[in-house]
Chain A
Amino acid sequence: MWINPRRLFDFRGTPTGPYDWSLTRIQLRGLTTAVAYATTFDNVTVIATESLSKRYPRVTALDRLSVDVGPGVTGLVGANGAGKSTLIKILLGLSPATEGRAEVLGLDVATQGGAIRERVGYMPEHDCLPPDVSATEFVVHMARMSGLPPAAARERTADTLRHVGLYEERYRPIGGYSTGMKQRVKLAQALVHDPQLVFLDEPTNGLDPVGRDEMLGLIRRIHTEFGISVLVTSHLLGELERTCDHVVVVDGGKLLRSSSTTDFTQTTTTLAIEVTDTDEHPDGTSAVREALHARGVETHDGSGLPGAGHILLLTAEGEETYDLVRDVVADLGLGLIRMEQRRHHIAEVFREEQTDGTDVQGVRKEAVGHGS
């Protein structure tokens, strides 16, 4: 039965301050089955495919793809047409694989599609919201379509919409929403039945940089706070490396690489900076580079990556490096367009691949061009 944690909470006494919530949440998870939930899946494979292939009369969408995905946030990266959506379709049990097999949460996609879809959420890439109903009505309906009884559907809808950041506007017709708000509704309908795993197909599509960051933060929270595993697709590698624990790269239906993002984590951060040019310093970038060299800071220019001429990469040792860059740029009278942290290991992944002779040019360009 559904035990309302608030009731349990009452028995355990009332909170004493606003900071109690994190503590109580842990207690509550202990009381409900949420901890079991989180731990059961710790060392379990969430998605497993074994030489999974999907061939259409003309194209091969998936070509003997074998990959294991554990709990956490997993990025599925590939150019358009790389087979990402086909894979999701098969994993939801909606489209039979030509050969090979796949399991989601330990359930066979070929025979237990219904059971999988009950435990999994799906956020499609395309627009899928009727404009003339409110977010609340729509999400309640979708919750009931997932098997939640009416009262629970309403309660979960209110909770979920609040978690994705929709408040008063949830009573207005969806037609009047911004793209960012629509994406949140789409996310809410995927989460409303409290799935164990969600498939998010290009959730950042069409969002501006701020909306993109918010969405990525939300995706991160789906795992860290909600305890739900995530498979998120994107054709932009850069945004996934910040969000994901694990990245799977597919190209032409084949597995190109599957690796943990933490494998490459470095203790030091790479800073990317970009400056303006002025009349005094027609090439601002080289002026900064020289000035930094003069102060003993090593820089490199991203070796042949697109935009390399304008972006300087350097290793930040600590707070001082940021101050140093600021001072150097200010002394030269240049404008600082950007200074951002960049974990460049995914670019390295591709550099390795390239030396292996694999052509990943297209993906790599996007990764760097849009990277954080």
Chain B
Amino acid sequence: MAVEQSLTPRGEQTRIHDIGYRHYDGPRLGRAYARRSLYSQSLRGSYGLGRSVKSKVLPMLLFVVMCVPALIMVAVAVATKAKALPVDYTRYAVIMQAVIGLYVASQGPQSVSRDLRFKTVPLYFSRPIETVDYVRAKYAALASALFVLTAAPLIVLYVGALLAKLDFADQTKGFGQGLVSVALLSLLFAGIGLVISSVTPRRGFGIAAVIAALTISYGAVSTVQAIAFEQSSSSAVPWLGLFSPITLIDGVQTAFLGATSAFPGGEGPSSGQGVVYLVVVLGLIAGSYGLLMRRYRKVGL
């Protein structure tokens, strides 16, 4: 400790003086600061920062996997002097949904199950923060982490598009729509991931449950949609999309953000149906928040 040495007399450099206990008279920044601290710690933790090397591997790997296709697309677009990017901004997250799903499944439980398993939660609540601060910090942190994950490749695409001298206004509009779409996706996926993970202190269960919730719902919805389409009852296709998170996002962006639907036959929802989609998405986000609040209300010491 440099400070301690500085006051030791010359010739006694090696001795460490025990000057006893010192009281803290500095500022105490209170509840809002504590909430921000928890937010930044959780956000950093979502990418393994401030944690062991081992826990950095998966999130960083997924981040790279998420960005590499965008880089390739950009390289191709620049090299071939293409007139448009091979993939829409809004479509990118839908294509990469498996990676996003894996990320939520690995980092959702990391964020909340650990606190439950190691019983760190009571320590948080013995400090100035309240339940609402904990829930908001955790929710915001995972949503932000997801936004970083999903927005980064869009930035790569946008920068690449500008380098390839594609139409600026057109690209900026698409980029903006893409950002709105992934923001909505981040909130929705973070909510679902956290609600599921907060039920179990076991990280493994949490991971499996989140993956199951995301993939099974998508698998079921897309299968039934395909069957409905084949049976030429295509009017049912948009309604079926309400039952899985990624198709919900797909529906919202098809209706409002100028995206082309990934539904069979491109049978995206109309504007009217789009309102239902949006209401369901916002309802799910609010519902997740409400469930988390309820989950942590009773967690005392």
Contact = CB atoms under 8 A, between A and B. Distances in A.
A124 B122 contact: yes
A24 B19 contact: yes
Given A21-B18, A141-B41, A94 B301 contact: yes
A100 interface: no
A39 interface: no
Interface residues of A, number: 65
Contacts of B27: 1-2, 147, 149
A142 interface: yes
B41 A92 contact: no
A144 interface: yes
B80 interface: no
B123 interface: yes
B34 A147 contact: yes
A132 B17 CA distance: 32
Contact of B20 (A10, A25, A92, A194): A25
Interface string A219-260: 000000111000000000000000000000000000000000
A176 interface: no
Contacts of A22: 20
Interface stretch (A27-35, A209-217, A336-344): A27-35
A226 B21 contact: yes
Nearest to A29: B23
Interface of B: 1, 3-4, 6-9, 15, 17-31, 33-34, 37-38, 41, 50-52, 55, 114-115, 118-120, 122-130, 300-301
Nearest to B126: A122
Interface string A19-50: 00110110011001110010000000000000
B26 A145 contact: no
Contacts, number: 157
Contacts of B127: 117-118, 142, 145-146
Given A18-B17, A88-B301, A147-B30, A10 B119 contact: no
Contact of A145 (B22, B37, B130): B37
21 contacts: A5-B19, A6-B3, A10-B6, A15-B9, A16-B9, A18-B17, A21-B18, A21-B20, A24-B19, A25-B21, A117-B126, A117-B127, A118-B28, A128-B122, A130-B118, A130-B120, A137-B50, A145-B123, A147-B28, A148-B28, A159-B22
A132 B120 CA distance: 13
A263 to B, nearest CB: 29
Nearest to B19: A21
A14 interface: yes
Contacts of A142: 123, 127
Contacts of A101: none
A28 B23 CA distance: 10
Given A124-B301, A173-B52, A92 B17 contact: no
Contacts of A37: 23
Nearest to A124: B122
A147 B121 CA distance: 17
Please indicate which of the listed interface residues B19, B30, B119 has the most CB atoms of chain A within 10 Å of its own CB.
B19
B23 A32 contact: yes
A166 to B, nearest CB: 15
Interface string A121-144: 110101111111100010001101
Given A145-B37, A146-B34, A225 B128 contact: no
A15 B114 contact: no
